[in-house]
A = this chain, B = another copy of it.
Amino acid sequence: MANDHAFLRACRREPVPYTPVWLMRQAGRYMAEYRAVRERFGFLELCHNPEAAAEVTVTAVDRLGVDAAIIFADILLLLEPLGVGLEFTKGDGPVIHRPVRTPEDVARLSAYDTADALSFMYEAVRLTRRALAGRVPLIGFSGAPFTLASYLIEGGGSRHYVHTKALMYRHPDAWDDLLSLLAQLVNAYLKNQVAAGAEAVQLFDSWVGCLSPADYRRYVLPHTRAAIAGLAPETPVIHFGTETVGLLSAIRETGASVIGVDWRIDLDDAWSRIGHDTAIQGNLDPVVLFAPPAEIRRRVKDILDRAAGRPGHIFNLGHGVLPQTPVDHACALVDTVHELSRR
C-alpha cells in the first residue's frame, strides 16, 4: 500500500499518475503555524522534542498538500554529541563554538552511539509515521559528511571555505579521518531513522558545490558513498546539493537513487548529465515563489516540459523555502504541479 505512493514510485522511476512534489524546509518560518510553535520552543529545543517535531512535520503536509513529509530536524544534529558546542543563534544561523581545524583537533573527536545520543530523532520519526497514518511517505535525513565537516571546521557558515579546503590540502590524512568518522555516524543515523520508520532518506550536501570536480572525487565522494552504503535497497536515498552542475556525473557515483539539482541548470540538461537511469529531484528557484501566480505557473510548466513525462521526476525547489515566501504561493505551486502533470 504505502509503497504505491507517487513519491516512492517516482524515486524508483516507476510510472506515476502525477508528478509528486514536496518542498525543502516546507515546515519553516514562512508558515504561521510553524511560527506559533516556535513561540513555545527554541530551535534546538523543538528538534529535541519528538511530539512538537511530529506536529510541525504533519502540519506542513496538511497545509500544502505535498506528496511527502520530511521529519522536522536540522542537518547538523549529528554534530551535537561530538561536544563541539553547536548553537543556533538568532539571525546568524548555526555556530560551532569549538571548531575543528588541525589534525590534533580531529584526533580528539571520537565516534559515539547514535542509537542512544539521537534517540529523540527516532522517536519523532515513529510519532510522525503514526500521525501521518499512511497519507504520505516520511523522509528522514542528515547532513552529508562534507557539509557537516565544513560547519565543524569553519565554525559556522562560510563564503570561501578556506579553513575547510586548507585542512584538505595540507592534512589529507586528518581530513580522511574526519570524513570517515562523520560518514560512519551518518550511516548509522540514517539506518536508525529507517528502522524507526523513515521510508526514504535525504543526504544534504548543501555546500559541496564549492568544490572542483577533482576535489570532490578525491576528498568527498568515497565518504559520501560510505555514508549511504548498506541502506536497504528498497529505501530511496536522495542526494541534495547546490551549485553542483559540474559535479553531477561524479555525484551519480555516490550510489544515491535520486539526485537533487538546483535551478542553475535546465532540468533536461541536468538529467542528461546525470543519466536517465537515475531519478531526479528539482528544480525551481525558491525565489520564483515571490513572483505572481501566473509566472509561477509558467515556470512549473517549463520544468515539467523538460522532464517530458519521463519516470523518475520528483518536483521540488532547488533549495529550501525562504522565510518571507507567501504561503499561498507555496500552496499554488503544489496544486499547479499536480494539475499540470496529471496523466
A: residues with CB less than 8 A from B are 160-162, 165-166, 169-170, 209-215, 243, 245-247, 263-266, 269-270, 285-288, 290-292, 295, 299, 302, 322, 324
Contacts and interface: CB of A to CB of B under 8 A. Distances in A.
B215 A169 contact: no
B302 A214 contact: yes
16 contacts: A161-B287, A162-B324, A165-B287, A165-B288, A165-B291, A169-B288, A169-B291, A170-B290, A211-B264, A211-B285, A214-B266, A214-B299, A214-B302, A245-B245, A245-B246, A247-B264
A36 B52 CA distance: 57
B160 A264 contact: no
B287 A162 contact: yes
A160 B265 contact: no
A166 B290 contact: yes
A264 B287 contact: no
A160 B209 contact: no
A264 B286 CA distance: 22
A263 B169 contact: no
Closest 5 pairs (CB-CB, A-B): A246-B265, A169-B291, A245-B245, A212-B263, A165-B287
B170 A213 contact: no
Contacts of A286: 160
A265 B162 contact: no
A161 to B, nearest CB: 7
Given A160-B322, A246-B245, A212 B290 contact: no
Contacts of A210: 264
Contacts of A285: 165, 211-212, 215
A303 B160 CA distance: 21
Given A161-B287, A246-B269, A302-B214, A169 B292 contact: yes
Contacts of A160: 286-287, 322
A269 to B, nearest CB: 7
A170 B209 contact: no
A27 to B, nearest CB: 19
Contacts of A209: 243, 264
A211 to B, nearest CB: 8
Contacts of A324: 162
Given A162-B324, A295-B169, A322-B162, A266 B287 contact: no
A264 B290 contact: no
A74 to B, nearest CB: 18
Given A170-B291, A247-B264, 4 more contacts: A165-B291, A169-B292, A214-B266, A245-B246
Nearest to A292: B170
A298 to B, nearest CB: 9
A329 B302 CA distance: 47
Contacts of A295: 169
A100 to B, nearest CB: 17
A137 B215 CA distance: 33
Contacts of A299: 214
Contacts of A288: 165, 169
